[in-house]
Amino acid sequence: MTEKILEILSDVRPDLDFENEKSLVSDGNLDSFDIVTIISELNDAFNIKIKVQDLIPANFNSLEAIHNLVVRLQEIEK
């Protein structure tokens, strides 16, 4: 799963080091268009629905945070 998330992120912003960056949103590395694209790709790839209440910087600041969000949403979808 982490590899697929990393692939999605790298397709959107190939210039960023997603494996080491911990403040993707807080530091302004991802803009709103990037986030919308990432959400769409994650929804499709993992059959989840990221809701408005999930759209907080803490959920998108790092690869680990995004992974945890996807895992949590997959559990809810079951």
- Dump pLDDT digits (tens) for 35-70: 999 999 999 999 999 999 999 999 999 999 999 999
Residues of the chain with pLDDT > 90: what percent? 96
Instruction: Give the pLDDT confidence score for residue 61 in this predicted structure.
Output: 96
Instruction: Give the pLDDT confidence score for residue 44 in this predicted structure.
Output: 98
In which residue are the tokens 């919308």 written? 36
Which whole-number Å values give the CA distances from 46 to 22, 49, 68, 76, in the listed order?
Answer: 23, 9, 13, 12
Residues 54 and 2: their CA atoms lie apart, in Å, by: 19
Question: Quick one: average pLDDT of 10-37?
Answer: 95
Q: Does the pLDDT at position 10 exceed 80?
A: yes
Mean pLDDT, the chain, whole residue set: 96
Strands (E) across 1-78 are located at none
Q: What's the CATH code, domain 2-11+21-77?
A: 1.10.1200.10
